[in-house]
Structure 1
Amino acid sequence: MTTAMRRSIGMITATALLVAGCSAGQGDPKVALTVGDVKVSTVEQVQRTLTDLLATNQGAQDQARQHKLDQVSRGIITQQAVNQLTAEAARRAGIQIPDALAEEAIPQLTGPAATEGDPFQATVDAAFPAKELARYRLALAELGARAIGRTAITFDAAFPQNFEDARELARKVAADPAQSAALMQAVPNPQQEAAINQTQSSASAQNATQLLQIAGFPLFNIPVGSVVATRLEGEQGGYVVFYMKAKQTAAPPAGFDVGQIPLLDRSKVGRAQLMDVALKTRVEPNPRFGTWDPFSLRVVSAEEAAVASAVYQAAATKP
């Protein structure tokens, strides 16, 4: 038996062990992902996808050697969930992507151009047909194009230093949103004051980059009445509790041409536009793969889930 054959057998065995682990919780143990009422994939299908990747994809083989196939499986389930949410958002918006456009967009929205040097995302993308990914990302690009420069929001935000405090504050704000300002101003953080009745809109943007930042920031796209506790990105660390108080339609700046925004950037903004449908749709991965984080739109490990995100609906805005 050659070394290459031993390596392949070892990787395939690793895949089988990864997917054959015990499943906990409710739901059909054979189903890998459910979104809304749709059973998107089965555990067997995910296992077959991983096996195929290990046979053909260098990135997957590298992940296997580093004992990170669980991350690959979470990435695949995440992409499946995002695809389903994109399809639903596009359906609601009346967006349809012809085959010819999807084919044409493959070089821009898949492969190295889309993954931007991220080897993990490149491995996940390799698990899906390029034309399928291009179609979903074109739909996201259209959602993004319709959003850039067209929203004004009002919000409160505070910056606790640990997740338990952030989650507890979010619960309190959701239970009594009239006290949001007082609750948030009471949060001790000498480096970052609470933001009360702050606004963001296209009118305050100085250039196209700022318009993209406003439209593409996930917190700025949660439904009105939502209260989110989540980790802050970047070196600063800590957490943010964000309460979306109001949202209005705004006019884009004079002379702004969304067609000048690169397609991939529009697609990234479009992903942020999924927040509304994502927070109102049941997304349920099989527990063996991880837990759905409703804010980051990712399947996360149990360790990540403990300090990932929490989303609540303010009492006054409940139907």
Structure 2
Amino acid sequence: MLAATTLLVAGCSAGQGDPKVALTVGDVNVSTVEQVQQKLNDLLATNKGAQDQARQRKLAEISRGIVEQQARIQLAADAAKKLGITLDEQLVEQSIPTLTGEQATQGEPFQGIVDAAFPAKDIARYRLTLIELGGRAIGRNAVTFDVAFLQNLGDARALAKKVAEDPARSAELMQKAPNTVQEPGIGQTQDPSKARDPQQLLQVSASPLFNLPVGSVVATRLNGEQGGYIVFHLKGKQPAQPPNGFDPTSVDPMQLAQVGQALLVPLAQQAGVQPNPRFGTWDPVTLKVVSVEESSVVSTVLQAKTPKP
């Protein structure tokens, strides 16, 4: 089993960059291929879930998950530094029972396997940082956007490119887009002060699309069983306030962490995240490292051209 892992991670690398580096975030080499290899070996020696994954020939998924988690941990640390967030180490220790394990991964066994590749204290610190980020940001921005829903990615990418090149025609282009699956949403607004309930507020605040820089034009897959793709143009963002009486401390901490994770999207976009190609391709919207097979449908994020005066 360990030999198979070695063959998996030591495969040939393609593309630019140091082939020994597993992950770069900004100008930081976060990890080496050898370090990812060691985490895999340690998991296979100690973790039953990882051993089960190996029997199902899913070691590549674990390695991608490790690199993906390394990227998110680095981005969260960068966000904390930028915002002056410091965590009490005693609190981090005390949070390990609640911010690691099944209760923190919401019943996702695979995430539990990936978490087990890291020291529990590092995972607790990471999630505490996300919770702090989410608590500070939830319901603080209102956004205006156009959105179209299309059947295939080729049409979605073509539309996103047209909108980015001529953002003043965003509405017109989306309304005329071919192979749509429902009416586009033109000039839509999400205002947190008008949220019907805390769950709607959380859903909006945890959307990666609403946390991108103004002018972003995205083509990405829709979540859920319905399939399809969306083209999303973030046209404006204004400071806002959550509904009267909303108390972020009353929210499930793991839901706040989801909001905090969405805030990493623009940071990742600004810094640049580059996994070694042997592990996969970075998706700038989902913050995932996707397989070679899925790389053809990775999300596209463009910046709309600024109109000439």
* Aligned twin of 1:61: 51
- Are residue 109 (structure 1) and residue 109 (structure 2) matched? no
- Are residue 83 (structure 1) and residue 64 (structure 2) matched? no
* Aligned twin of 1:178: 168
- Structure 2 residue identity aligned to 1:125: D
- Are residue 250 (structure 1) and residue 236 (structure 2) matched? no
SS of structure 2 residue aligned to 1:254: coil
Instruction: Give the counterpart of 1:211 among 180, 193, 201.
Output: 201
* Aligned twin of 2:274: 284
* TM superposition score normalised by structure 2: 0.97
Change in CA separation of 1:148 and 1:50 when aligned onto 2, cut-off 3 Å? same
* Aligned twin of 2:33: 43
Change in CA separation of 1:116 and 1:163 when aligned onto 2, cut-off 3 Å? same
Counterpart CA distance in 2 for 1:81 and 1:249 is 29
- Structure 2 residue identity aligned to 1:178: A
* Percentage identity across paired residues of the two chains: 63
Render the CA deviation track for 1:146-193: whole Å, top value 9, x for unaligned: 111211000000011101111111111111101101100112456411
* Aligned twin of 1:264: 254
* Aligned twin of 1:122: 112
- Structure 1 residue identity aligned to 2:234: M
Counterpart CA distance in 1 for 2:208 and 2:300 is 14
* Aligned twin of 1:3: none
Counterpart CA distance in 2 for 1:179 and 1:214 is 26
SS of structure 2 residue aligned to 1:256: coil
Which blocks of at least 5 consecutive residues in structure 2 are unaligned? none
Q: Shift of residue 12 of structure 1?
A: 0.2
* Aligned twin of 1:6: none
Change in CA separation of 1:181 and 1:43 when aligned onto 2, cut-off 3 Å? same
Q: Shift of residue 286 of structure 1?
A: 0.8
Q: Shift of residue 90 of structure 1?
A: 1.3
SS of structure 2 residue aligned to 1:16: helix
- Structure 2 residue identity aligned to 1:200: Q
8 A contact 2:149–2:181 mirrored in 1: no
* Aligned twin of 1:224: 214
8 A contact 1:223–1:275 mirrored in 2: no
* Aligned twin of 1:7: none
- Structure 2 residue identity aligned to 1:38: V
8 A contact 1:33–1:42 mirrored in 2: yes
RMSD between superposed Cα atoms in Å: 1.3
* Aligned twin of 1:165: 155
- Structure 2 residue identity aligned to 1:50: L
Change in CA separation of 1:202 and 1:235 when aligned onto 2, cut-off 3 Å? same
Q: Shift of residue 303 of structure 1?
A: 1.5
Render the CA deviation track for 1:33-71: whole Å, top value 9, x for unaligned: 111111111111111110000000011101100111000
8 A contact 2:151–2:181 mirrored in 1: no
Change in CA separation of 1:317 and 1:128 when aligned onto 2, cut-off 3 Å? farther
8 A contact 1:57–1:123 mirrored in 2: yes
8 A contact 2:160–2:217 mirrored in 1: yes
